[in-house]
Amino acid sequence: MYDFEYQRAISVDDALKKYADSEDARFLAGGMTLVPVLKQRLDQPSNVVDLGDLADMRGISQEGNAIIIKAMTTHHAVNSSELVISKIPALAHLAGTIGDHMVRNRGTIGGSLANSDPAASYPSAVLALNATIITNNREIAADDFFTGMFDTALEEGELILSVSFPIPEEAGYKHFPNPASRYPIVGSFVAKTSNGVRVAITGAGPCAFRVDDFEDALTKKYNPEAIRDIKVSDEGLATDIHASAEYRAHLINVMTRRAIGE
């Protein structure tokens, strides 16, 4: 680990100021990704601004037809929230599939989205549920947020404050986990609303993406059989020691059919 200055923010404004006043700062949320990155010397920030004391960045509420999850809310809190379980059970289920107990008790939704790991679980839910990411200076539609591998629409020093999830009529999430890390090799989130069906995939490509052909077929007929014969191209999908692009393409169809059945 290289030397850096560690600072604890006492408010959102203080966090933004500490970041702006630093040469090259990083926000610290649960530290589940950032701390290993620092330990492995893959990053060398001048300052680390810890958000851990900011109680007003945690919490889950309902506003109209949306569930609002604040950025510092842990995966465990989402998984065990009565509100999320009653309104978007698939989202609570997804949070419960992330990593292990320690990761779920420390890791946050804001950190996960800002990190945009190609295998992160939440991006599939954010895209399929057509969520809005609320930052300190704007609202970003899910379709505009994930821009590439470990890359998002966030600007330098922009802080995610919360995520607004419209409540769907129905939703399901299914993933095929890596047996070691539990990260999805492929995960599929399906959401049905009065505007149609959205399907988003994680784990398979550089970042989460939607599958238009599945969405069209499922909007016409919301049944796993509607997509059974729709082949997904393996072009641009990841190949690694865990799975080939061809296998991931196959899993996209299987996981999506199972997500509908959930």
Residues at the interface with ligand FAD (CB under 6 A): 26-34, 71, 98-99, 103, 106-108, 110-112, 114-115, 117, 120-122, 159-160, 181-183
DSSP letter for 118, please: T
Least gap, CB of 257 to ligand FAD (angstroms) = 21
Least gap, CB of 83 to ligand FAD (angstroms) = 21
Considering the complex, state which of residue 226 and residue 243 has its C-beta at the smaller distance from ligand FAD: 243
Return the SS3 of 96: helix
Residue 180 host element (H or E): none
Considering the complex, state which of residue 118 and residue 218 has its C-beta at the smaller distance from ligand FAD: 118
Least gap, CB of 154 to ligand FAD (angstroms) = 6
Q: What is the dihedral of CA 22, 112, 110, 65, to 10 degrees?
A: 160
Return the SS3 of 198: strand
Least gap, CB of 6 to ligand FAD (angstroms) = 13
Considering the complex, state which of residue 153 and residue 245 has its C-beta at the smaller distance from ligand FAD: 153
Considering the complex, state which of residue 25 and residue 191 has its C-beta at the smaller distance from ligand FAD: 25
Considering the complex, state which of residue 54 and residue 211 has its C-beta at the smaller distance from ligand FAD: 54
Least gap, CB of 69 to ligand FAD (angstroms) = 11
Amino acid at 168: P
Considering the complex, state which of residue 96 and residue 224 has its C-beta at the smaller distance from ligand FAD: 96
Neighbouring C-beta atoms of residue 117, cutoff 10 Å: 18
**Cα first-last separation, the chain:** 43
Least gap, CB of 74 to ligand FAD (angstroms) = 8
Which residues are paired to 165 by β-bridges? 67
Q: How far apart are CA 158 and CA 214, in angstroms?
A: 34
Neighbouring C-beta atoms of residue 179, cutoff 10 Å: 8
Neighbouring C-beta atoms of residue 98, cutoff 10 Å: 24
